[in-house]
Amino acid sequence: MFDLRDLYQQVIVDHNKSPRNFGKLDDCNHQADGYNPLCGDKLHIYLRINDAGTIEDVSFEGDGCAISVASASLMTDALKGKTVQESQIMFEQFQHMATSDLSESPDEKKLGKLAVLAGVREFPSRIKCATLCWHTLQAAINDAASPAKTE
Amino acid sequence: MMLNVENIRSQFPILQQQIYNKPLVYLDNAATTQKPQSVIDALCGYYTHDNANVHRGVHMLSERATAAYESARDKIRALINAASTREIVFTRGATEAINLVASSWGETNIGAGDEVLISEMEHHSDIVPWQMLCERNGAKLVVAPINDAGELMFDAFEAKLSERTRLVGMVHLSNALGTINPVSDIIAKAHAVGAKVLLDGAQAVAHLNIDVQALDCDFYVTSAHKMYGPTGIGVLYAKEALLESMPPYQGGGDMISMVTFEKTQYNDLPYKFEAGTPNIAGAIGFGAAVDWLCETGVELIAAHEQRLLVYATEEALKFEGLTLIGTAENKATVLSFTIDGVHPHDLGTILDREGVAIRAGHHCAMPVMQHFGLPATARASFAAYNTETEIDVLFAALKKAQEIFA
């Protein structure tokens, strides 16, 4: 049986306590809201993407559980310097990890630090907490008019 | 006399299980209570022996089903001391009952310039139907504020009452805060300006004695599943004269006495408001839940839950980093709280692994969360089968959550 520590690994607890890239990004050129109506978790993602399609900077603001805050913190760290195209592959890999069968170990080579969130697979009601920031990222890249939802 | 909790627990088969190898501690009773064997047997017995449509057949099964369905109605009438079963309308739950009143009574009695007065502590089910009605008819939704203890500010409530107030919608026992509202005073003040009163008793009926005649309330609604009965069934109580004056809510079978393509004559009360084949099994299960409540004793249950609430509140006040949300002087059965540095949803997950089921979220009362400036709270809510030992397990699990986030 999975232990709570599989979900609340120290890295997650740390990122929740002191989230990276937290706050407004003044010179952003894309942004979007994300909302999980079930929990009331709210996120706002700021992006600065240059003409070459590279994410130069990214930050977030919001209010949510440890999983959603840590996931957004880890995501923003991982996205810096990546191209939009690369971010799409990361999104797919992350989603795959968060919903894959428990017998499949996360591909740490591809996922890097994001692999610490693999524990959500064991907690179905919490998968959306981990993926909300990624859906919000999509909304920001696409300049979506309405907030991203995990539904 | 004290409640024999061990005997009560033995009547709830669901409680005899383990969650992650730990005894289930079910403290999410404000969301829905568990069901005693007698209610499960009533549902099962109906489908096993008596299943037939009601009010139609001349055969034995239909007669049995009709008798059981109507006897459930009378049990509910007696529980809340309504004058007649003509005043007891079965609905899908409290939410549908409020929607019925908003649509049927509201459409005919609330128009442009009129006001509906509710409180800041209402459940979404006692906000949204009125909001929808007000938007349709150009009426105004007025909100009476609560104080930081989670109590209705009575003076402010009174100040918002006027001859424009057509209806007051008020929760009897708040699901998010546990506050018991002074409903007699509210009704007296509302009637003084000519307003009708709807009480949302979804939480109240399992914990308080209800006498709709003594209260003189116009509409009272509740759901069976929060009082040891099945989901999908509830009730609207309304004074007979009001129901007589109201147009039907939905059209269909059973709510008519004569149909031609030119005109339909509606059925008598309460059937005018029960279109279509009803939730027969649910109503019978509801009746069995009322029997269970009466046999066990609402007062004994209430006294037991009050002891649990006092004990849990004492433990909560000793618990470092815990803030109680909802500290009304007159409250019951609900312990809503936050813990510094641990989001309620993380608490919910961690407690679940200890076998403890609580609710984490906005409790379908987002304006209450907005009042306290919170996205969510954790909520433990008590029922007849809970014990002090379970409260100890709750606080030990909260300690564990704090350690994880230390």
**Cα distance from A96 to chain B (closest Cα, Å)?**
22
* Residues contacting A134, CB < 8 A, separation 6+: A71, A75, A91, A94, A95
pLDDT for A147 equals 83
Per DSSP, the residues of B92-149 read SSHHHHHHHIIIIIHHHH--TT-EEEEETT--GGGTHHHHHHHHHHT-EEEEE-B-TT
Residues of A whose CB is below 8 A from B376: 39-40
User: What range defines the domain where residue A33 resides?
Assistant: 4-142
The share of chain B scoring above pLDDT 70, in percent, equals: 100
The answer, yes or no, to whether residue A2 has pLDDT greater than 70, is no
Q: Mean of the pLDDT values across residues B285-307?
A: 97
Q: Mean of the pLDDT values across residues A12-40?
A: 92
Contact A1 B375 (CB under 8 A): no
B395: how many CB neighbours lie within 10 A of its CB?
Answer: 17
Q: Which of B20, B345, B404 shows the shortest C-beta gap to A39?
A: B345
User: Is B134 a residue of the active site?
Assistant: no
In a domain, A47, yes or no: yes
Per DSSP, the residues of chain A read ---HHHHS-HHHHHHHHS-TTBS--TT-SEEEEEEETTTTEEEEEEEEE-TTSBEEEEEEEEE--HHHHHHHHHHHHHHTT-BHHHHHHHHHHHHHHHHS-TTSPP-HHHHGGGGGGGGGGG-GGGHHHHHHHHHHHHHHHTT-SS-EE--
Q: What are phi and psi of B112, to 5 degrees?
A: -55, 135
Q: Pairing between strand B322-324 and B334-339?
A: antiparallel
Lowest mean pLDDT among B90-99, B245-254, B281-290: B245-254
Of the pLDDT bands very low, low, confident and very high (cuts 50, 70, 90), residue B337 is very high
Say if CB A46 and CB B368 are below 8 A apart: no
Q: Which of B28, B343, B358 to mutate to test the interface with A (most CBs of A within 10 A)?
A: B343
Q: Which of A1, A42, A64 shows the shortest C-beta gap to B343?
A: A64
Contact B349 A123 (CB under 8 A): yes
Q: Note the pLDDT tens digit of each residue in B207-253.
A: 999 999 999 999 999 999 999 999 999 999 999 999 999 999 999 98
Lowest mean pLDDT among A73-82, A92-101, A104-113, A133-142: A104-113
Contact B345 A126 (CB under 8 A): yes
Give the largest Cα separation in chain B, rounded. Answer: 73
In a domain, A110, yes or no: yes
Of B295, B310, B326, which marks where a domain is finished?
B295
* A·B CB contacts under 8 A: 50
Q: Which of B338, B345, B352, B398 to mutate to test the interface with A (most CBs of A within 10 A)?
A: B345
The answer, yes or no, to whether residue B256 has pLDDT greater than 60, is yes
**How far is residue B115's CA from residue B294's CA, in Å, rounded to a whole number?**
38
- The H-or-E segment that residue B89 falls in is strand B88-91
Q: Note the pLDDT tens digit of each residue in B10-25.
A: 999 999 999 999 999 9
Residues of B whose CB is below 8 A from A123: 349
- The H-or-E segment that residue B399 falls in is helix B388-404
B237: how many CB neighbours lie within 10 A of its CB?
Answer: 27
Structure tokens belonging to residue B347: 């608490």
Contact A42 B375 (CB under 8 A): yes
In a domain, A149, yes or no: no
User: What range defines the domain where residue B87 resides?
Assistant: 40-295
In a domain, A148, yes or no: no
Structure tokens belonging to residue A53: 């399609």
Per DSSP, the residues of B300-358 read HHHHHHHHHHHHHHHHHHHSTTEEES---SSB-SEEEEEETTB-HHHHHHHHHHTTEE-
Q: Mean of the pLDDT values across residues B107-128?
A: 97
Contact A39 B361 (CB under 8 A): yes
Residues of B whose CB is below 8 A from A129: 345
Contact A66 B376 (CB under 8 A): no
The answer, yes or no, to whether residue A34 has pLDDT greater than 70, is yes
Of the pLDDT bands very low, low, confident and very high (cuts 50, 70, 90), residue B299 is very high
Nearest CA in chain A to B406: A13
B304 and B254 together in one domain: no
In a domain, B35, yes or no: no
The total of structural domains in chain B comes to: 2
B260 and B378 together in one domain: no
pLDDT for B163 equals 97
Residue B316: how many CA atoms within 13 Å on its side-chain side?
23
- Supply the CATH number for residue B346's domain: 3.90.1150.10
Of the pLDDT bands very low, low, confident and very high (cuts 50, 70, 90), residue A110 is confident
B87 and B107 together in one domain: yes
B230 and B366 together in one domain: no
Lowest mean pLDDT among B36-45, B49-58, B177-186: B49-58
Q: Mean of the pLDDT values across residues B340-355?
A: 95
Contact B346 A66 (CB under 8 A): yes
Q: Mean of the pLDDT values across residues B99-112?
A: 98
Contact B375 A125 (CB under 8 A): no
B25 and B52 together in one domain: no
Q: Which of A1, A2, A4, A123 to mutate to test the interface with B (most CBs of B within 10 A)?
A: A4
What b/e string do you get for B145-174 counting C-beta neighbours within 10 Å, with b at 16 or more? Answer: ebeeebbbeeeebeebbeebbbbbbbbbbb
- Supply the CATH number for residue A105's domain: 3.90.1010.10
Q: Note the pLDDT tens digit of each residue in A37-93.
A: 777 789 999 999 999 999 999 999 998 999 999 999 999 999 999 999 999 999 999
| SS3 (DSSP) at B68 | helix
pLDDT for A1 equals 47
- Supply the CATH number for residue B207's domain: 3.40.640.10
B368 and B235 together in one domain: no
**How far is residue A148's CA from residue B315's CA, in Å, rounded to a whole number?**
40
pLDDT for B241 equals 98
Structure tokens belonging to residue B316: 């909560």
Of B280, B295, B310, which marks where a domain is finished?
B295
Residues of A whose CB is below 8 A from B349: 4, 7, 123, 125-126
Residues of A whose CB is below 8 A from B344: 65
Nearest CA in chain B to A12: B405
In a domain, B65, yes or no: yes
pLDDT for A38 equals 76
Q: Which of B353, B362, B405 shows the shortest C-beta gap to A13?
A: B405
Of B269, B295, B321, which marks where a domain is finished?
B295
Q: Which of B345, B350, B361 shows the shortest C-beta gap to A4?
A: B350
- What is the torsional sign of CA B227, B230, B236, B237? negative
Q: Mean of the pLDDT values across residues A86-106?
A: 91
Q: What is the DSSP letter of B48?
A: I
Q: Mean of the pLDDT values across residues B322-341?
A: 97
Q: Which of B19, B340, B349 to mutate to test the interface with A (most CBs of A within 10 A)?
A: B349
- What is the torsional sign of CA A110, A93, A41, B27? negative
Q: To which residue do tokens 């006498």 refer?
A: B211
**Cα distance from A40 to chain B (closest Cα, Å)?**
6
* Residues contacting B359, CB < 8 A, separation 6+: B28, B30, B31, B348, B378, B379, B381
